[in-house]
Structure 1
């Protein structure tokens, strides 16, 4: 089976898919959260980009907010600020990771495992039906769909965006 190449951001025709939508993206300073924020901005959404470290240099007119998702008061203030600035909210993409007690140890083990997996990326790719590891933009595209009007009859699901890994 031949691996499908990931889409390049310039190839995507996402403009206007989220016009009028007001979305909060957590973890927006880097990684998947940043990719989601950038994609949603291109798609016309008003984005409140939330992270422990204020997201910088996002294209478009993102509302960049500093808040640690482990601090309920900070999150409440950030959500209130976003809702006030946008006149309401339509969606949330939780891309930030949090850790506490036993969850902290598990997340640390996950980071170590991820680091090892990335070190042997070419060996891991064949374990996926599509023959490669996913790119952050591909996860962002799924979040785009779930946050758009096109998913108006979709609720309460877990969407496996895993290149076929879950059945492979």
Structure 2
């Protein structure tokens, strides 16, 4: 399964991960270091829970860290994938409420992680526009450059889930 849409013109982020709000971080597997070279972001024990929407061997987290994996594409999602995003966001919000540090990550930390992190903010009481703005302010202006994901958030994942469930395979 192809999970990442290539090159929307977005540069690699300038940090492996960024704090979106206390206890909630958004990041990726790759970032550009101060020397301009692409670096790998390897998670150790910095976080209590890591949610990976893209994975690569050797990128962590440490075996003792809770790690949830749900590889989803950086494109239109099925009803099942939208349901997974909802469940991950509920889990992340619960962890944040319990004062646990959470990292939501994907390849570069822009779209898939942005979708789950923004939905986590919504679960924590933010409205969609504020959640989207906070993701872009905290991670990068390039975060949530996937307009489909932004629409899912603005419409509401419950509605997006129902609409995606109506699609019939051809």
Q: Same fold (TM over 0.5)?
A: no
The normalised TM-score by structure 1 is: 0.30
Q: Which one has a larger percent helix, Structure 1 or Structure 2?
A: 1
**TM-score (norm. length: structure 2):** 0.30
Q: Which has the larger radius of gyration?
A: 1
